[in-house]
Chains A and B, each alone.
Chain A
């Protein structure tokens, strides 16, 4: 709310405005090309196969799908591949042998990494057997210190404060009841992340402590996580610059332009760099299971993003990556 003069916004330097004669519609979510281990697996696919894979993801995430689904048994995912790719089936069986039982699907709208991570993170706090109050206090204090990073990155307060309020209200609501005595439930959390329309959204927002605010909670949280990711890269450009490339051309790209085009803009999928930055600021351990149909022995490789000491009482959040798309992997009976 500060009306004090802000430092010149870093975000829109006039000299780097990008103008296009006719921009190409973004259909394909850029995947992890060239920066991580799975690139070599992907490169053995023919262009046609790649296109088919991506098309499968797009088809199944048509606009009618919810932003995030109920928990679905992995067996249902396996069925989808049974008539197609044997290697995917083998890899899904491998995941089941590790104890994974369920998947929560997110819509393939380019925001799926951020949405998956946010949901998995907040849900874990909600159903954690640990002291919820302590977990919530830790998360809120972490977000509070992240404000400094957002400011240091040169973002104006008005660019992030509304989104910040949404995520902190939601997390606080895990332990702080509303006047009606209710705290957050898994069902309300899911509805919040599904961004219901109109009247439903308003009554649900009231349950979230957002009385009188017609907000799309899910997208607000996605935006905040994007800004946090960007802020981490912008405030530590030397560390990230060597890993920044144009998702399409593979050319090097400077941190500011990378952040503007591929982090802050909604609908731009996250790659290794964004995951590294975001899990670092959120102090989360995350594993990404790469289900790519290209494993000689049917196993699945996990890429680990470790940011806090491993703890026997708390498993890392696990996301399932299929070329161009992230979902949440769950071990339901272990909870």
Chain B
């Protein structure tokens, strides 16, 4: 039984393996539920020389429903210090909420986030970070203001 998400992710995986955009690399994709990709910002940037790890989670209605995307925060990785990224790795981006569309893909989300980091000039956390992190559920898609 192949769900729509499996069909689509098989194709995306093939494409990522063939031709992955610069600065983005597939780290782990052992199933069609959770993928990890690394992200680096190219060129001059406040994030030069930093590597971030993105975790994508897909439900069986992907790509009709958006993936849940977070920066991994563990002993090896930190969330980028960015006004739209909370310290727990949650990302505030319209394309991951009600701006999502099935035209977008894992790669295009990575490129968008890469460009979001590249355009950053001041490394700081979003306002209210501590309070948000204290109350946020683990999955950002379960936060009201992320996915309306």
A5-B19, A25-B148 as given contacts; A162 in contact with B103, CB under 8 Å: no
Contact B15 A24 (CB under 8 A): no
B122 interfacial by beta-carbon distance below 8 Å: no
Q: Mark B1-13, 1 if CB is under 8 A from A, else 0.
A: 1111001100110
Inside 8 A of B2's CB, which chain A residues have their CB?
Answer: 212-214
A158-B8, A214-B4, A264-B103 as given contacts; A17 in contact with B95, CB under 8 Å: yes
> Which residue on chain B has the smallest CB distance to residue A195?
B61
A214 to B59: give the CA distance in the assembly, Å: 13
Q: Mark B32-46, 1 if CB is under 8 A from A, else 0.
A: 000000000000000
- Size of interface on A: residues with Cβ below 8 Å to B: 43
Chain B contact residues, majority secondary structure: loop
Contact B148 A26 (CB under 8 A): yes
Contact A14 B115 (CB under 8 A): yes
A18 interfacial by beta-carbon distance below 8 Å: yes
Inside 8 A of A18's CB, which chain B residues have their CB?
Answer: 93-95, 99
Inside 8 A of B19's CB, which chain A residues have their CB?
Answer: 5
A313 interfacial by beta-carbon distance below 8 Å: no
Contact B103 A159 (CB under 8 A): yes
Inside 8 A of B97's CB, which chain A residues have their CB?
Answer: 20, 23
A-B pairs, top 5 by smallest CB distance, nearest first, are A14-B115, A25-B148, A264-B101, A18-B94, A12-B108
Inside 8 A of A19's CB, which chain B residues have their CB?
Answer: 84, 92-94, 116
Contact A17 B11 (CB under 8 A): no
Contact B116 A163 (CB under 8 A): no
Q: What distance in Å separates the Cβ of B13 from its nearest Cβ neighbour in chain A?
A: 11
Contact B64 A223 (CB under 8 A): yes
